Amino acid sequence: MATLNLSAVTKSFGASTVLHGIDLNVADGEMIVIVGASGCGKSTLLRIVAGLETPTTGHVAIGGREVTRLEPADRDIAMVFQNYALYPHMTVAQNMAYGLRIRGTPKDEIARRVAETAGLLGIGPLLGRKPRELSGGQRQRVAMGRAIIREPKLFLFDEPLSNLDAKLRVQMRGEIRRLQQRLGVTSLYVTHDQVEAMTLGDRLVVMHQGRAAQVASPMEVWARPADTYVAGFIGSPAMNLLGGTLAEGGAAVQLKAGPLLRFPDGPRAGGDGRPVTVGVRPEHMLRDGEALVTVALDLVEPLGSETVLHGTLASGEVLTARLPGMVPAVGSAMPLAIPAEALHVFDAESGRRLDA
Amino acid sequence: MDRKVIFKGRALPMLLLLPQLAVTLVFFIWPAAMAVWQSLLQQDAFGLSTEFVGLDNFAEVVADPAWRGAAANTAVFASSVAVLALGVALFLAVQADKAIRGQRFYRTMLIWPYAVAPAISAVLWLFLFHPSIGLIGRALNAAGVMWDYQLNGNQAMLLVIIASAWKQVSYNFIFFLAGLQGIPKSVLEAAAIDGARPLRRFWTVVFPLLSPTTFFLLVVNLVYAFFDTFGVIHALTRGGPGKATETLIYKVYVDGVDNLNLGSSAAQSVLLMLFVIALTMVQFRFVERRVHY
């Protein structure tokens, strides 16, 4: 159990820079989820923490000890890989015991800890099997067992659930979270799945093109996205982003799509005419209200308890709305209301959030 | 997807199989059958009469101290060649697997010796180790080592082992490199995170995962050492000095071609054939069981 500190970590492969200075302080026992689209540098960041890659510049410290140039073996960490990376020629018990054997742990202690960990994960009956005789979910458990048996300072997870089917993924997600809370081990979890990120993390690091776009709790990221990338990435269906300009001295926004919306939480900086991007989540759209826009529907997805509508506004911008209940097909166009209190305002150029 | 082609009649498939069957028959089955037949016959010294003697040739061969000597030579020779060729190839393959720059160049250069004919490779080694004209041979003598493989049987054996192993290193190298590249990188990374240093990683993860490859190559190398090293031995030592480098296959040649004792020579080659058949069968059994994933 330990803290983890990254300061100004950068990584370049030849001429291409994949990490542009990442700073991150992880508290003892905290679970941090690094989330981002593929190619955003999240796996590279995890591999730098693991010691499988060396940062081009910057420092990594685990438990206050500088480990930037240390081998993975000297960092006292454990990692769960996407493809599990079990040793194919060893049994489940041998797989779990490998790290302990290398550290010269006494045999009876190894046996005790293997039995204990297997019990914890419910893989006791599998101890004599080889990895090829296990199902995906069982392999996943063994990989977890191999990680926790050593009682490392830090857990690293590299998309551990992405090779499982949807049902198992939900189940394992819950188990990982329970286990992590019970053991209280500081963890770093990499995923591209925003649901995993929202449910697992104490805090999220949303990565975008080698930068940490936002580091905050899941609810904070959802409720107050730091920029348009985060706004569009977290939440499903993705947040609607509409163009507009400030009006009434910054107290309102004139949407390209038509309506004028007054900010209930106060005026934004910048004068009239400052171009902004306005975000509104599909689930916040209303069937009735003051600021109505007309949506030319091109797809209606009834999901039972709710209906997702996809369409185009008069301004040519696309809009998605998620409305409760069944929405009767009323023709090719329908009016929807944008609630002013659910607006997110971003600078049109930089994409940064503008607060009142 | 089922890619099997179904022929209507039987004539066309038969016709298509014929060339391959003919080649197998003429170049493999027929000579092998002839050897078996010959091994049961005995000719007089002038080749005027031939009589059927049953298994007498075999009994004679097995009881012959010269044959036993050749068998002992072969055991030393074949195991040394296999171990040396496998060890060197594995070492080189591990290095090539690590190399990031110039890997293709390195690989190509290492594969070349396989394309060299046995006699030519033997001449290469001769130019290196000949006591009076060889580069290394002269250097050894100048350094005070009494080096003359034409007189010293152990040195001759060493030389044919090195020359034979050198040729096989390329072949082994290709297989080992492919085997190494087939090991998932994440498994090695997992071992590194589990705390294993490179050497430990090699012996506890890499080597066990290579064991099917290693076993396959061991059999191939033994078969190579038994049969395909005739050219090297012939060009370097002709089985000498004395009979120090006379292996079983070389003795088959000497007895059959030089001494014209066809019955004995055939019996010896049948024994060799049986040995290799046994080796191949063991391999098939074993390799099937030892594949890890």
Which residues on chain A are in Cβ contact (under 8 Å) with B189?
A: 50, 52, 72, 79, 81, 85
Query: How far, in Å, CA of B232 to CA of B220, rounded?
Result: 17
CA distances from A136 to A115, A157, A160, B292, B293 (A): 21, 16, 11, 17, 14
CA distances from B232 to A224, B2, B108, B163, B218 (A): 79, 47, 23, 7, 20
Note whether A200 and A33 are within 8 A (CB): yes
Residue with tokens 């590194």: B192
CB contact under 8 A, B194 and A99: yes
CB contact under 8 A, B193 and A73: yes
More confident residue, B291 or A144: A144
Query: How far, in Å, CA of A21 to CA of A211, rounded?
Result: 7
Residue whose C-alpha is closest to residue A56's, from A26, A24, A20, A25: A20
CB contact under 8 A, B190 and A77: no
pLDDT at B3: 58
Does residue B103 lie in a domain region? yes
pLDDT at B119: 76
More confident residue, B259 or A338: A338
* Residues near A49 by beta carbon (within 8 Å), at least 6 away in sequence: A4, A6, A60, A62, A77, A154, A156, A188
pLDDT at B293: 44
CB contact under 8 A, B293 and A81: no
CB contact under 8 A, B189 and A52: yes
Which residues on chain A are in Cβ contact (under 8 Å) with B186?
A: 81-83, 85
Give the CATH number, domain containing residue B141: 1.10.3720.10
| Stretch B141-168: mean pLDDT | 81
Candidates B187, B193, B197; nearest CB to A87: B187
Which residues on chain A are in Cβ contact (under 8 Å) with B190?
A: 79, 81, 85-87, 146
The residue of chain A with its CA nearest to that of B185 is A85
CB contact under 8 A, B292 and A73: no
Minimal C-alpha gap between A126 and chain B (Å) = 17
Degrees, nearest 5: CA angle A335-A336-A340 = 140
Which residues on chain B are in Cβ contact (under 8 Å) with A104?
A: none
pLDDT at A190: 93
A–B interface: beta-carbon pairs under 8 A: 68
Does residue B198 lie in a domain region? yes
pLDDT at B263: 77
Does residue B32 lie in a domain region? no
Exposure string over B60-71, b if 16+ CB within 10 A, otherwise e = bbeebeebeebb
pTM of the model: 0.77
Sign of torsion over alpha carbons B272, B278, B282, B285: positive
- A233-275 confidence digits (pLDDT tens): 888 889 999 999 998 888 889 988 888 888 888 888 887 888 9
CB contact under 8 A, B184 and A50: no
CB contact under 8 A, B195 and A73: yes
pLDDT at A119: 86
What residues make up the domain containing B208?
58-289
Sign of torsion over alpha carbons B195, B198, B201, B206: positive
Structural domain total, chain B? 1
Query: How far, in Å, CA of A55 to CA of A69, rounded?
Result: 9
CB contact under 8 A, A88 and B196: no
| B103: pLDDT strictly greater than 80 | no
If 0-12 CB within 10 Å is exposed, 13-18 middle and 19+ buried, where does residue B198 land? middle
Low-confidence residues of chain A, pLDDT below 70? 1, 328-331
The residue of chain A with its CA nearest to that of B191 is A99
For chain B, what is the mean pLDDT? 82
Candidates B189, B200, B209; nearest CB to A102: B200
Minimal C-alpha gap between B94 and chain A (Å) = 19
Interface of B with A in 195-254 (CB under 8 A): 195-197, 200, 204-205, 208-209, 211
> C-alpha A332: how far from its chain's center?
36
Residue with tokens 């060799």: B272
Candidates B184, B189, B195; nearest CB to A102: B195
The two three-digit tokens of residue A314, written as one number = 């008069």
More confident residue, B254 or A66: A66
Does residue B273 lie in a domain region? yes
| B281: pLDDT strictly greater than 60 | yes
Does residue B8 lie in a domain region? no
pLDDT at A225: 93
Candidates B189, B194, B209; nearest CB to A88: B209
Most confidently modeled of B8-12, B77-81, B236-240?
Answer: B77-81
pLDDT at B100: 65
| B1: pLDDT strictly greater than 70 | no
Does residue B157 lie in a domain region? yes
| B5: pLDDT strictly greater than 80 | no
What domains does chain A contain, in order, with CATH numbers? 4-232 (3.40.50.300), 238-347 (2.40.50.140)
Does residue B142 lie in a domain region? yes
